Chain A
Amino acid sequence: MGGAPLGARALARRGLLALGLGAGLSLLVGRGGLGAAEALGALLEGPWGEGRAALIVGWVRLPQLLTAAVVGATLGLSGAATQSLLRNQLADPYLLGVSAGGGLCAALAISAGLDERLGPWAPPALSFCGALAASAAVYGWARGGRGLGAEALLLSGVALNLALSAALTLVISLSGERLGGVWRWLLGRVDGLSWAEVGALSLPAAVGAALLLRARRDLWLLEAGEEVAWTLGVEVERVKRVTLLAVALSVGAAVAFCGVIGFVGLLAPHAVRPRLRGEGAWLLPLSALWGAAGLCACDALGRLTPSPLPIGAVTGLLGGAALLAALRRGARA
């Protein structure tokens, strides 16, 4: 994507501003017949407020906002890390098998009615396990005799994604009356999570983020090639394993609770990269910030329509449009 080059500080300021606007919008608008003024009042009352407005803000909008922020940050951060790891700016965190494994297991759980039989935690728990298993499979397959090549990772990720999406199609076609539930999950959502679920989502996301942010300089150097990065002191194989683990944990949790929300992991780092002048090691934190801001804004926008749009549809539509616009700008420049 084009865009005037800026420093890391300016990018951080813009990201924070966008996040603030998105967060404000997302707290003040939405369903429930709650006006913006009422919502603001409830917000100012704090966590001890009572009444319907406080209930809606505290138990519906706030968890939804946090979910969007955590998932957006996770996807942006993991997207940037995956791109550096694979030295491919078109890579996406879902490429490493996380969404395919998580998606298939969630679809299986929902279509088998496990959420009704075992409780609402069954699909996300199974999905998380599926995401970890798929990532482990991609890692194991790509791991040749010596080391872990970026190309081998990419190819085994693509192959596993293809195989698992075929299996997913099969599950969907056999899911019968529960088809609607499977579809709703696949389209992605950030609404309707309880505080406990937000906590369960945030914990692995935080662990993954901490691992990736600690490795941000190593991942920056990895884009200079593995041999060069090695001479500059990067423990190449360890960084690759840590990155895969962190992406599996955090994106696996995001997929488990919120489904497959596309485009954020690809677009957030794409928006940051060309604008980030001379401070490449800041790519990861800034991609997280822009991912969070982008998903919060998409969530709020999706609620402004007469009937709320699934967030996966909003990110897909807006993301595709943004990418096409950037392409046109790039062609003119």
Chain B
Amino acid sequence: MTPAPAAPHLLLEGLRGAHAPRAPVWLEARGGLLGLLGPNGVGKSTLLRLILGAEPAAEGRALLNGAPVRALPPAARAARVCYLPQEPPASPHWTLEELAEQGAADAGAARAALAALGLAPLAARALGEVSGGERRRAFLARALAQRAALTLLDEPLAHLDWAQAESHLRLLRADARARSALTLITLHDLNLAALYCDEVLLLAPSGEAWRGSPAAALTAPHLRAAFGAEPLLVPHPRALGAPQVLPWGEG
């Protein structure tokens, strides 16, 4: 067993890529579930890749506990940083268990993560033999099993039904809180983000960004600026202070 790594401290100092995000992003985060929100093409995925160092920054820098992620030595990486891309490559012949074991923190972590996501009965199946949603959840299991201090998840809930998306997001938040870890997640579902993210960072094409609790960041003026449309905002009937965006409909 490796000793538990130091609590994460992520610092973005005016970080900007060659094409996106359009304006430098400043951010300091220490733990919990942080949602990255904004319209398509605003630079949510790019921001994750810039933090990882997979793309060079046009300006600014990202520091994890005082050093760029790219500078982590090989043996320390898996415990410090986990990345799940939007379209993760994989061999269709890998079994779900094999996939979850790729980054697993210890022997039991892969099984525990598969069980937590309800995939235990499918553990011996190959990726090519499960449904698209099960495949997505298998990748999420790999990320959970890694138990990294900083986890970067790019649209992990896309194409999942609402019940699964909600239960998985709840699981991700509980996991980040329990381990005092930091999880950055890009999401398209503002309503789920408002209910489960500890904080959100809303990016607008103009380069403006709002960071804070969902209630503070997801206001009508901010959403209008970010998405270019007037939102129909209602308070959630049960969760106090969680703004919810409804479609307008006709009538």
Chain A residues packing against B (C-beta within 8 Å): 5, 87, 89, 146, 221, 223-225, 227-228, 230-235, 273-274, 276-280
Contacts and interface: CB of A to CB of B under 8 A. Distances in A.
A234 to B, nearest CB: 7
Interface in B80-105: 81-85, 88-91, 93-95, 97-98, 102-103
Interface residues on B, range: 20 to 34
Interface stretch (B34-42, B70-78, B210-218): B70-78
Contacts of A227: 49, 52, 54, 83, 85
Contacts of B84: 228
Contacts of B234: none
B95 A277 contact: yes
Contact of A273 (B49, B54, B93): B93
B132 interface: no
B139 to A, nearest CB: 9
Contact of B89 (A223, A273, A274): A223
B5 interface: no
Given A87-B89, A233-B78, 17 more contacts: A89-B91, A225-B85, A227-B49, A228-B85, A228-B103, A230-B77, A231-B82, A231-B103, A232-B77, A232-B146, A233-B77, A235-B74, A277-B126, A278-B95, A278-B97, A278-B124, A280-B94
B56 interface: yes
Nearest to B87: A225
Nearest 10 A-B pairs (CB), nearest first? A225-B89, A233-B74, A278-B95, A278-B98, A227-B54, A273-B93, A231-B83, A233-B77, A232-B103, A223-B91
Nearest to A223: B91
Contacts of A234: 74
A224 B88 contact: yes
B81 A231 contact: yes
B85 A279 contact: no
Nearest to A279: B98
A225 B88 contact: yes
B89 A231 contact: no
19 contacts: A89-B91, A146-B56, A224-B89, A225-B85, A225-B88, A227-B83, A227-B85, A228-B83, A231-B78, A231-B81, A232-B146, A234-B74, A235-B74, A274-B93, A277-B95, A277-B124, A278-B94, A278-B95, A280-B98
A153 B94 CA distance: 25
B52 A231 contact: yes
